[in-house]
Amino acid sequence: MSELLNIYTMNAIKLNNRVVMAPMTRSRAYDLVPTDSMVTYYRQRATAGLIVSEGSPVSMEGRGQAYTPGIYTDEQIEGWKKVTEAVHAQGGKIFIQLWHVGRSSHVAHQPDGQAPVSSVSRVAEGCTTHIPGDNCQSVRVFHSQPRALATDEVPRVTQDFVRAAKNAIEAGFDGVEIHAANGYIFEQFINGGLNDRTDRYGGNIANRLRFTLETVDAISAAIGSHLTGIRIAPFGRLQDMHGFDDEQDTWLALGIELRRRHLAYVHLSDQESLGAQAIPAGFLTKFRKAYEGTLIVAGSYTQARAEMALREGFADLIAFGRPFIANPDLVKRMKNGWPMVVPDKDTFYTGRDAGYIDYPTYHVD
């Protein structure tokens, strides 16, 4: 019997299986509004128990990658409505990932060319992003020098997330996922190796978690905690994040706080698959004890590893990223033991429909 393909109820939301399509930036929204090709892309993959959309910036300030669809204008809401309607018509469920990259940006993305914002004014050394170029291509550039948010500005960013969450519900999403991983705005506050603030958002663990938890609470109050998820990457090193003394205690404290909030889920990402440090052995067991709600895990899972993780109780749902790029019918391939297609890395972020919606479903001879 396959645990992975069983029905799962997530805070009253019934999922057809335990397979999650992980959020993946695909950079196809050339005017920052979801396109008809995006509608096709998500509809093709709607047999996943849950789709988590690509990161969607909550504001112009939150942007940091070329051609990513936002959720802060009326046009974007209308574009996303077509996506959610297509997924629902296939019997699927879809959450939107709410995104603010913080310092992981460039002035070309920012309103009036202003500096990106962060917990501190320290640039992410050696890190790059993409800005729009000619003919819908992108240009790789180093991150711009950020500025530190003033204490009284932080709640304004939280409100940007609240507005985006309300927009997402208007657009028909089944819920939202707060992107608090990969070295973006929330992790820039959580990480004690970066955050050297001396106000209420810096210093001890409680202060470094404050911005994240204030945003979780504000979104939960606006749309319901049962429609609110969050993605984290304990021990993450992307975007020039570094280790710090109370690192494990920080993530376990966050797990305890999130347990108290009865969220839709926590989505835990192991960045080893992205070429970064792996989550230390034994940590997942500790986190599972700290956080007792629905837990999604991601990180280069195969079908066999996913089944084992579910059987051993390390997770409730398993997220798959790149396998969904080239296998829109991934769930059916898993169910039937059909072969998997390897995606073309050269088309992950470039091109239009090539490498995006032209991967075929499997046909039995």
Look at the chain and report how many structural domains it folds into.
1
* Tens of pLDDT, residues 296-323: 999 889 999 999 999 999 999 999 999 9
- Residues 139/133, Cβ–Cβ less than 8 Å: yes
Q: Is 296 inside a domain boundary?
A: yes
What lies within 8 Å, CB to CB, of 211 at 6+ separation is: 154, 157, 158, 186, 189, 201
- Residues 175/264, Cβ–Cβ less than 8 Å: yes
Closest CA relative to residue 74, chosen from 23, 25, 24, 32: 32
Point out the residues that are catalytic.
Answer: 184
Q: Is 353 inside a domain boundary?
A: no
Closest CA relative to residue 93, chosen from 22, 15, 167, 37: 15
Q: Does residue 275 have a pLDDT over 90?
A: no
Give me the percent of the chain exceeding a pLDDT of 90. Answer: 89
Q: Does residue 94 have a pLDDT over 90?
A: yes
Q: Is 177 inside a domain boundary?
A: yes
Q: Is 95 inside a domain boundary?
A: yes
pLDDT band at 277 (very low <50, low <70, confident <90, very high): low
Among 138-152, 192-206, 264-278, which stretch is predicted with the lowest mean pLDDT?
264-278
Q: Is 320 inside a domain boundary?
A: yes
Beta strands 295-298 and 147-148 are: unpaired
* Whole-number Å distance between alpha carbons of 138 and 324: 24
For 197-234, letters b (16+ CB in 10 Å) and e give: beeebbeebebbbbbbbbbbebbbebbbbbbbbbbbbb
What is the residue whose two structure tokens read 């047999």? 47
CATH of the domain at 121: 3.20.20.70
Torsion of CA 256, 259, 260, 262, to 10 degrees: 170
Start-to-end Cα distance in the chain: 26
| Residues spanned by the domain of 137 | 3-336
* Tens of pLDDT, residues 4-51: 999 999 988 999 999 999 999 999 999 999 999 999 999 999 999 999
Q: Is 365 inside a domain boundary?
A: no
Let me know the angle formed at the C-alpha of 262 by 309 and 286, rounded to the nearest 5 degrees.
Answer: 40
Q: Is 116 inside a domain boundary?
A: yes
* Tens of pLDDT, residues 187-211: 999 999 999 999 999 999 999 999 9
CA distances from 103 to 106, 120, 177, 359 (A): 8, 9, 20, 35
- The pLDDT of 330-336, averaged and rounded, is 96
Distance of CA 191 to the CA centre of its chain: 18
CA distances from 129 to 66, 107, 143 (A): 8, 11, 6
- Residues 238/183, Cβ–Cβ less than 8 Å: yes
Q: Does residue 219 have a pLDDT over 90?
A: yes
Query: What DSSP state is assigned to residue 246?
Result: T
Q: Is 15 inside a domain boundary?
A: yes
What is the residue whose two structure tokens read 């979801």? 34
